[in-house]
Chain A
Amino acid sequence: MNRKDSKRKSRLELNCQSVNSNGVTITVKSRHSHSRRRRRMTCPSPAEINKALASVTLEQLGKSCSLEELMEKCIQSFDVDGKLWKNEDTIHMILVMHSWVVPSAEFARKLLQLYPFLSSAQNHRKMQICHFLRFWANQYPEVFRLDNELEELMGDFWEVVKDRRRSSDHRQSIDSTCISDQEITKPYPESPSFNKKRKVSLLFDHLEPSELADHLSYLEFKCFCRISHLDYRNYTLQSSLREIPRLERSVNLCNSISQWVQLMILNRPTPQQRAEVFTKFIQVTQKLRKLQNFNTLMAVIGGLCHSAISRLKETHSYLSHDVLKALSEMTELLSSSSNYSTYRRVYNECGGFKIPILGVHLKDLVSLNEALPDYLDNGKINVSKLQSLYQHILELRQLQKANPPFKANNDLILLLTPTTPIKPPEEIPDWTPVEPLQLDPDSLSHTVDQMVKCVFQFYDPHQRGFISREDFEKVVSSLPFSCHILEKDREGPVSHQEMTSYFMKASRVCSRLGLPFLQSLVEIRLREMPLCANCVRNFPSYSMCLLPSLSRVSSKYGAAYHS
């Protein structure tokens, strides 16, 4: 090992010491450990950590192992007092990754088979197994919470152990509200910067690019932090977002931001005004780049490069040279060419807080999983595959623990927040608006009825009782982007009832802005449609209020209307 390497390794030790409680400690060869405290702290990049991690672990485990060998490795790493004295990184890797090849319940069952129930001796081994199980439950409680079979199995086990040993010694552990889980869902630091006296404008025009960037980043980071390693696994294995609400929320946020960027530009009537908004978004991207929030950067640039915007030649002619230059730099940075090599390089050079382009890293997981077999020819688990996948997951987990360099403004968050209702109550994020405008339910449902009626009158002149999905999306596209994602990818026409429930949800999202706000947006939407002769006949009043700017928007979003 040359000097540079050894330096890197020892830096690594230091770093890992510091993140020990987060479950990413790396054990290293003992000859290094004496120097640990003497080294000055310099922060290695996650890439360095992962690289070193891979080499260390692979040395210990070899390329393949049977499930039993993996378990034995874990058990042997604990001493009688419950201290994990070696292989901590390997153990974390096994605990996170085993479920990619074997369900956790099966892993646990096999593990329990190793417990020498009948033997009165072997106390040492019994203790080791218990310590290992306790470690698992404490470090990864979410696995137990989400897997009933596993939880039951473990519950039974602890009962038996307790009975046999007549001691509560072993039984202090399975507690699903443990440390590391709270770590993941820890409440986001409340926004202290929010000066209550300051009047905050919610109008896009009044917001500084840096404010927008901060708040978009706040939302992005919230979504990113909620994604657990189980979500990555589920996504990679089932290759669909179904039943992965936390990941879905993050993806939806991205897509909504992209769409919102386009809408904000297209909503302006003149090319000059559109160029101004475009410029503002370029400034937002520059701020996002500084914040190292690559995910939102991708979303905004994606919006700006969408053909709906890039085809606006006149608008582009009003853009300054600097803006065009910045755009091309950002496009270059995020280009997919050579497997995002520019992005990957820049991203790896960035230290501290950063939000990765999730899609790129998910793609790595999917590619690795697809390309490498779970089991090798000898019938053993392909440990190096698990290790490679783990590197990516570990890196993402580490990023979730960083402290964001921005603060949020509650009112603004309200305007931008996607509040997808999520099933289990504990999943309702702490940043969900807590004080909805007190609307009397009767008047709420009355107003919503009116809105639905309005929409159906317009889009369903033949009173078939439903409107097409395209028309529905047209209505939705005029709402604040936080409302866009309320509906999952459903198919087919939309009934009265669905429309009503949609508006009810949207009214909750926009509660602070008030229902009239929502109502007016829907009205604008209906007015702006470029009407054909037939429609004008049916709705002469609408034809009077055509807004040139908005009809341009709708010609983009409403192209299917008359087809």
Chain B
Amino acid sequence: MAYAYLFKYIIIGDTGVGKSCLLLQFTDKRFQPVHDLTIGVEFGARMITIDGKQIKLQIWDTAGQESFRSITRSYYRGAAGALLVYDITRRDTFNHLTTWLEDARQHSNSNMVIMLIANKSDLESRREVKKEEGEAFAREHGLIFMETSAKTASNVEEAFINTAKEIYEKIQEGVFDINNEANGIKIGPQNPMPGPTGPHNAGQAGGSCC
């Protein structure tokens, strides 16, 4: 399917915080359990619409590799957005955010949009990390914050889409160099005009009314 942009995301955070669940919830289990070992198990692409434009989100999950630091770092290269996830029922996953953030900031491009996700909001009775703490951490480090539940799907769509919106806005502002794929953004095949998309272009493609 044709798309105007492709954004590359990564999902990071401690083991067991629900990264894969979030992704599966968002991509609606659209994935190919590939038997061919040469391709691996791949899932995590979905089309969304922002401002009337089709945007393909390609999401890379680091689940299973969290403790291999040199491996997780290799994901940062060429990512436009990152979901940094912790589990509200496990304080240690919140405590480790700084390490993850440092790693992400050190190894990604400086424009990468990072969203802080407090997952498992359905487990209110076992909560160890208050919402306010998450918000404070996000404020302090300039992140967008959201509480989600991969189980009930609460806020999952919003988490991915808001990150995409933020990236999209940065493209509009010309912050991202979209000609450089190392930034995690690719222009779709039907969009031959590279460069920051001005309001003129947006109007054309999206057919917006005003």
Contacts and interface: CB of A to CB of B under 8 A. Distances in A.
B123 interface: no
Closest 8 CB pairs of A and B: A302-B70, A366-B64, A363-B64, A370-B20, A367-B41, A359-B65, A359-B68, A307-B106
B74 A251 contact: no
Given A236-B64, A307-B107, A363-B63, A335 B74 contact: yes
A367 B74 contact: no
B179 interface: no
Given A254-B68, A299-B70, A302-B74, A367 B35 contact: no
A254 B69 CA distance: 9
B74 A344 contact: no
Given A255-B70, A344-B37, A344-B40, A359 B24 contact: no
A336 B61 CA distance: 11
Contacts of B29: 371
Contacts of A47: 36-38
A109 interface: no
A304 to B, nearest CB: 9
Contact of B37 (A303, A358, A385, A395): A395
B60 interface: yes
B118 interface: no
Interface centre among B35, B92, B106 (most CB of A within 10 A): B35
A334 B16 contact: no
B151 to A, nearest CB: 13
Interface of A: 46-47, 50-51, 54, 235-236, 238-241, 248, 251, 254-255, 258, 298-299, 301-303, 305-307, 334-337, 339-341, 344-345, 348, 357-360, 362-368, 370-372, 385, 388, 391-392, 395, 491
B69 A255 contact: yes
Contacts of B69: 255, 258, 302
B24 A370 contact: yes
Contact of B16 (A239, A341, A371, A491): A239
Main secondary structure of the interface of A (DSSP, over half): helix
A334 B73 CA distance: 12
B77 interface: yes
Interface string B164-185: 0000000000000000000000
Interface centre among A241, A299, A302 (most CB of B within 10 A): A302
Chain B, interface size: which category?
Answer: 35 or more
B16 A367 contact: no
Nearest to B106: A307
5 contacts: A258-B70, A298-B71, A306-B73, A336-B77, A340-B40
B73 A302 contact: yes
B162 interface: no
B55 interface: no
Given A302-B71, A334-B74, A371 B37 contact: no
B43 interface: yes
B65 to A, nearest CB: 4
Nearest to A385: B33
A39 to B, nearest CB: 24
B154 interface: no
A364 B40 contact: yes
Given A239-B15, A357-B71, A371-B24, A362 B64 contact: yes
Contacts of B61: 363, 367
A448 to B, nearest CB: 30
Interface centre among B24, B40, B67, B70 (most CB of A within 10 A): B70
Interface in B36-58: 36-43
A392 B68 contact: no
Contacts of B74: 302, 305, 334-336
B114 to A, nearest CB: 16
Contacts of A258: 69-70
Nearest to B27: A371
B38 A360 contact: no
